[in-house]
Structure 1
Amino acid sequence: MTGQKRHKKRKNRAVLFIMILLLICLVCAGGIFAKRFYRAYKARRNGTVPGSILATASGTVTVSDPEMEPVSDNEAEIDPEIRKKLEKAEETEIRDEEESGPVKVDLIVFAGQSNMSGWGGDASQAPALTEGAGGEFRSVSDPSKLYTITEPFGFYENTPVMNDVFMKRGTLVTSFINAYYEKTGVPVVAVSASKGGTPSTYWATDAVGEDVKTRYLNAKTWLKENGYEVRNQFLVFLQGENDVIEGISTEQYLADINVFSSKMFYCGIDKFLMIRIGATNTDPDAYSRILDVQTELCRTDPRFVLVSTMFSALSDHMIDTYHYDQEALNAVGTDAGINSAYFAETRLDPSITDYRTGQIFEPVNYEGQ
């Protein structure tokens, strides 16, 4: 009897020992998971991905918020042909007749300065939107419905902080969406958030961050409340010319992009899809230092995806020193749309031609790493 008790006692001790070991393993695993989760959260919020060029970015130099501009509603200022074209934009619905349940869409914010706004474009030369490819959500002028995407895209989306004063003439957005939809089969809901003549210090301000965030969240909320399922949430960014024009340092540019992108990631944007700027029509190397930084940022930071460098090859398609014509905008929009679609479908950064160097751009970090 005594032997049985001893055996039972040893058995209980062994079971207790194993349970303690399991508990220790669970605590350690939980600690590792929590540490990784915190690092991911911190990187998403503060822009500290190891190896990223942004890991060296310091805080921004203090910048004043942009001056508030009046939002003009004077119809006399609008080109009659543009007004006529925009009046044809109707309410639209994105529906899949073959599928029941919520319709999947990709929500994409188009942000940047004058070449994103299309100051050099011509709406009459932009392509027609492919049927079913998407719609525009007008977060500012009418956040109650989807509109047919019509060029110039985002024409009425002006606020006191972000006001292009009717300078939009024709953008790359329709070309982008057509190419993206052809490759993914997923409609795009597009949101305008661009303003010409803006350096990185403008985008780093609280006022602009809140403006873009509000545009994005208005669209996201409306889509969820109206039966749509948001698959991806991207921000396409085309900006940087004014940093050279205004003599803003590379260090300041990086710090500003860090501040602006961190705000967008924190509120829900998945990725920045970067369209790299090009050149002036008089100097192919005018923007070299910003081009280098944009390329390295997308190469080293998995949250930034380089989707087009084609502007570097299109200096013959400019209407003045800084602005590309509609033919160039259509070409770059198509190129960026195809490469963005590749990322959306594979979660891998595209290997693309760098039109400035003639080399193939290969990123360091892929989504799965």
Structure 2
Amino acid sequence: MQNLTVHRPTSITEFRGLLEKERAELKKHYPQPLESKQDGVDIILFAGQSNMAGRGKAHLAPYVKEGYEFRPVSAPKKLFHLQEPFGKTEDNPTGINDENKKSGSLVSSLVNAYYDCTRRIVVGISASKGGSSILEWQPKSPYCTDILERLQRCENFLHQQNIPIKSRFLVWCQGETDGDHAMSSAEYKMRFTALQNALSEAGIEETFLIQIGNKKDEPKKYQQIIHAQRELAQEKQVVLIANAFEWMDRLDLMKDNYHYTQTGYNLCGDQAGLNLAAYILNEPTL
């Protein structure tokens, strides 16, 4: 497991303070002010189920300083300034279809924290489906086929526009449905590895994991999936960049059994963006 924040904050104020301390530590490692780097972009696939798709409130998400959304389903011939609800227009009736439920996610907060610490510009692609099982993301499934097509359309567009691509990343948050179905840790790891291999073959260079949290009315329900995700990180198959969802119930940031308030998404996105930046800057994750 990566060296994420292990001290569990007892208040939102304390958590924000920890994140600001970690941001300041990162910024000690590069000269100020940072120059914006215009020599390329990082493609990030934001994929998984509803807590990646986002069930928050878009108007409470931060404004994105610098970052873009590529919309391979609804508008594949331009880039859009990234804003919430991220991916709202990207339902594909024959593939990844979130049924118009995206309402505010962690993506904006993640992109801001990442840019703030690296000045690397993100082109984000939405590829998440609420309630989806890892079984539905297997190679040659409609979801896997769709996510590969979304990536390819983005690459083709950027090449046509002569925009260099620095890196291709996956940020993954999924597993609650498999926890509800009592999937074993071993099976989850096997199924996730199959998806990851398909994406790696398509050019994804690194997988960054946002660990799932606990089911509010059954706090032990998802332990097998959480265990699997921690093992994937320990084995260095993925880079664990956020574990904040584990703390959301005690911080009163859960809106129901499965989902978080927009404040919860913002805090988790901030943690994830800082740790993604730490990885890129070759610093220990925070």
Q: Same fold (TM over 0.5)?
A: yes
Provide the residue aligned with 1:140 in structure 2.
73
Deviation at 1:227, TM superposition (A): 1.8
2:99 maps to a residue whose letter is V
1:276 pairs with 2:233 = no
Q: Which residue of 2 aligns with 1:155?
A: 88
Which residue of 235, 242, 247 maps to 2:182?
247
Letter in 2 for 1:167: K
- Aligned match of 1:42: none
Query: What count of residue pairs does the alignment treat as equivalent?
Result: 248
- Per-residue CA distance 1:11-43 (angstroms, 9 max, x = gap): xxxxxxxxxxxxxxxxxxxxxxxxxxxxxxxxx
Residues 234-265 of structure 1 show CA distances to partners (whole Å, capped at 9, x for unaligned) of 00000000001122232321221011000000
Structure-1 separation of matches of 2:203 and 2:211:
23
- Secondary structure of the equivalent of 1:272? strand
Superposed displacement of residue 318, structure 1: 1.0
Matched, 1:172 2:93: no
Question: Which residue number corresponds to residue 188 of structure 1?
Answer: 122
Structure with higher RCO (Cα < 8 A, 6+ apart): 2
Please give the alpha-carbon distance, in whole angstroms, between the structure 2 residues aligned to 1:231 and 1:342. Answer: 17
Q: What secondary structure is seen at the aligned counterpart in 2 of 1:242?
A: helix
Structure 2: gaps spanning 5 or more residues: 1-34
1:345 alignment partner in structure 2: 281
Off by >3 Å, runs of 4+ in structure 1: none
Give the letter aligned to residue 40 of structure 2. Answer: K
Which residue identity lines up with residue 187 of structure 1 in the other structure?
I
Measured against aligned partners, the alpha-carbon deviations of 1:121-170 in whole angstroms (never above 9, x if no partner) come to 0001101111xx21100011111000011211000101122111111110
User: In structure 1, what is the Cα distance between the partners aligned to 2:175 and 2:256?
Assistant: 17
1:235 match: secondary structure: strand
Q: Contact conserved, 1:103 with 1:227, CA < 8 A, in 2?
A: no
- Quick check: 1:325 aligned with 2:261? yes
Q: Is the 8 A contact 2:43 2:123 kept in 1?
A: yes
Asked if 1 retains the 8 angstrom alpha-carbon contact of 2:183 and 2:225, the reply is no
Q: Which residues of structure 1 form unaligned runs of 5+?
A: 1-96, 353-369
> Residue 307 of structure 1 aligns with which residue?
241
The structural deviation recorded for 1:98 is 8.4
CA contact (8 A) 1:126 1:326 kept: yes
Change in CA separation of 1:278 and 1:104 when aligned onto 2, cut-off 3 Å: same
Deviations 1:85-133 (A, max 9, x none): xxxxxxxxxxxx988xx731111010010011112x0001101111xx2
CA distance in 1, matches of 2:181, 2:191: 14
In 2, distance between residues paired with 1:123 and 1:153?
9
TM-score normalised according to structure 1 size: 0.65
| In 1, Cα distance between equivalents of 2:280 and 2:246 | 24
Q: 1:295 to 1:185 in 2, by over 3 A?
A: same
Q: Distance in 2 between matches of 1:341 and 1:230?
A: 17
Percent identity of equivalent pairs: 37
| 1:232–1:344 Cα contact (<8 Å) kept | no
Q: 2: CA distance between counterparts of 1:248 and 1:312?
A: 19
- CA–CA separation in structure 2 for the residues paired with 1:107 and 1:147: 14
Aligned-partner Cα distance in 1 for 2:149–2:230: 29
